[in-house]
Structure 1
Amino acid sequence: MKRKAAFQLPHTPRRAPRQDPVSCDSCRLKKIKCDRQQPCSSCSARRLTCRYGKPEAAAGVERTSPPSNPTVPPRADNVPIEPTAAPLRACNRESLLTADWLENIHMADRVPTATPKWLRDGLDDPVRGRNLNLSLNDETGSARPLLSMPYMNRSAIDENPASINLITFVPAKSEALDLFRYYHRYVDYLYHIIVPKRVEGQINGIYRCIESNAPVDLNHLALLFGILASSLCLQRSVVASTDAEARSQEFAFLTGAALIQSHYSLSPTLVGLQATMVVMHNVSNWNIPPSVSGLFVHGAIVSQAKSLMLHCIDSPRFRNEREGSDYDAIDLEVKRRLWWDLTSFDW
């Protein structure tokens, strides 16, 4: 029995032998793509010497074949081939810059404040800054004090917050209003937790009570101290004043002292809650004594807000109760803002 003849394939051209590698030695070793430039982009990015080795077969042929011209000396095989200089393409330059950035990370100086330059220039301008005492003294060249000298010679942090005389630490009315305007212009737009017109009226009421020797509302006084502390803290970051840092710490302490004397923990008020939240946004930058620092913890503030039922102001039951009675729309809006600020604080 004869075996069937094998199936005859049509005549096809013989497959060409495999080409010798044309990538550089480094790319072949790392098994990465080479663009076959001299030098290639990979070696340029990694700052390596780009070498193209000769194939073994070609090297053997060159060793066996005699030189065609006896006057030209044979080329040594052990001499490395120097890469020829070639202009870098745009992608090669970008790779080189990226490698330089990764190898040498350039760290700038610590930025003291996130306030943009146009805002700092506006604060340095006495007209735009609305007399915020940030201009330089023409005679001495030193920075003007942010508060009057009699107050700066005193310190309140070492005293007992439950028995300290708070009225003696109230600054002049013009200084307090300047710092309040600073807070309203550069800080309040971030949080919207106070009503400027109402707070300004409360500040004026404090000084009227002081002038007439009448008792001062301690919750209003706590809010004033909290606003002064925040304003001085931000001015410290702009003008780099050590005095402003010390004053901001003391006003934060006085805020807690006013709340303690008003028995805020037992009977919280809306104004007292505003004072704690004004300080809370900057409390991480200060070393407040532990006797008052517990008032500004986020958990304690949330607990006081729930005691004021801020989390229920828009519930159906509270809405029905407001329909048949007169209520203060401003207080209702302030409660919404305070609760929203608390709920969004951790976002």
Structure 2
Amino acid sequence: MPSQGSMRPANPLKRPRQDPVSCQFCRSKKLKCDRQQPCSNCATRGLLCHGPPLSQSRATPLPEDANNASILARLKRLEDIVIGSSGQAAPDVPSALPTRANSTLACLSPASEYEEALHNLEETATGEENWIPSGTRDLEFQILSAQQMSHAPGVYQSLSAKLPHFQSPLKSVFLPPKDEASRLLDYYVKYVDELQHVVFMPQVRKLMDTLYANVDQGLPVGPSHVALVLTILASSASLSYHHSGDGVILFPPSVAVHASLVWANSALEVLEYSRRTTAGGLEDVQASILMAFLLFHVEGFSSRSRRLFAGAISTARDIGMHRLDATPGQSADSKKSVDPVDVEIQRRVWWHVVATDWLLGLCGGPQEGTYFVQPNHFRVNLPRNIDDKGLIYGRSLVEEPLSKPTTMSYYIQRIKLADICRRVVDLMPLSGVSTSVDYQQIIALDAKFQAFFDELPTFLKVDEKSRHETEEIMCHSPQLKIQRYALGMIARTRRCKLHQPFLIRRSVESHYTYSRDISINSARCVIRLKRQVEKELDSVYVVNVKLHGVVYHVFMATIVLVMDLCFNKNEGNDDVRKSEVAEACTILEEAASQSCLAREFLQSLMDIMRKHKVHLHHQSGEAAEDPHPGQGLPGSEIPDIAKVTEPEETRLLHSFFPPQDNSQNYLSDFDAIWKDYVELGPNMDVPEWDNLFSELTQGSQIP
């Protein structure tokens, strides 16, 4: 009689494992999943929906031969992992950056099931059950033209009719009519998007259509969608105030200024509302990036813009963007359910955040010497070198070689530059002056900068020969003009930052000559690039507004040239060096009529110079005893713009945009100050110069 045991399962106490019915995101956040692919929760947040399709929820048992084949396949994959059969990193990608995986390992083993269960249990406490109800800060959206909005405060607060017994405040956010919004979006695509390309325009246009349709019908709208649209509108209006584009004036200047201020204020309000009431999504990250970029251009890398950027990183992590290509429990089948276009857009956004973070680590300010994102703490493939027109839903993505210009050419090189900056941050101590760092390590890092310049595609190089060879390319891809100058200035300023601690020590330690030569040549190149970009672009206004970072880079180049002139006086060619300083000052003077940042740079420069004169050794006794040290100094009669009384409306406008008619008065005695500075500078000791450089760069950065 045959044994009954042969008819039983191997382990009768082990019940078959029930397949999950909800996607991974809904399970981890304790949300109700509609079990679609993708589900509504993931779709509204722009997330990848990881979970088995319904059609595969009850898989047919495999026959014995197929089961054996499956086991052998799993063993082969494990052998490949242990032996390390993956290919080497591509030669054109820095070793610290990830290479693109050729395949995704299917999570089929019991160990992976255990890891998935453990991961879900650990995330139980991160659910989205809000203690504060979202209705306590309700928003409503109204349509109001830019002309009508000239008398509107931006976010209007009243008492909600929905909850009269609670007297809950109702905030009204004003959107322009759809035709105005469409014109502003077209303007954004043509003139603003080229330096902060973190949105996919077909998606944005579809999002805008849905947003306006829902507002017209009184249906709910996603706050992150509204925030993204408002940020784009504010960015377009802010630039159109200075530059009308193809000669078509979108709005009168005063209307454009006020509209930009209203939309920016509204976008900040809606972003905060979204942060407090939702789990966040891709649009929250995009809106935060664009708003931080806009705020930088009108107020510098202020604490507000820094918080926005930090919020973008936090939200990106919350929605799992840092694990985009290594999600626990993600199978090959579940990845196939997500369109490659959506994955690629998220890769672009994530790497834009990471590159900005690393670049800011090598930039003056409170964040200098630090960064948020560790390279070992995320797994996201590098974005592909592919044009936006190649991103077509339902089709495979075909990547172009790096030698071919695309929408992503600039951003891929920006990532490589950021990786070098991260290495510099890791080496340089936070204590400032580095006497403990091996100088050979500085030379090795400088070699990486040089290799970066040498390996750039020809269309992103700024030398005369490369510019001449790529004239035809610029006709087809005009955005590359401004991108190559932006990349060149950012890279050279960061290279100066590497050598800055050793520049002024050249006068006492001759073996730092290399640092002095690199710093001076990089600073001179920044000045040349500024003049060259003026020739290639259509107006100085566009140069200083679109490339607002130009002001910062020229400012840093000026400091390097002045420090060298004052400390390394035995280098000769004093007349030439003084003329270089004068030219740099002239650039700042020209920009001051259009850029509030330029004016702030000049003001801080003059304030610091006055401040540090108290340390000069040959200052007269009368001056030292003067109870009003600011009086009688060259340039002391220059007015303090921050103290000028203005009407409330003018003050609000100037908080985002400066007036354009006072540069001559503001810089009336600038030459006298520089003359005094150059004459007295050599009497300051090295630590005082370090303090001067540190204070000048505080709060003056480009992302």
Query: So what's the TM-score if we normalise by structure 2?
Result: 0.26
Quick check: which one's helix share is greater? 2
Question: Larger radius of gyration, structure 1 or 2?
Answer: 1
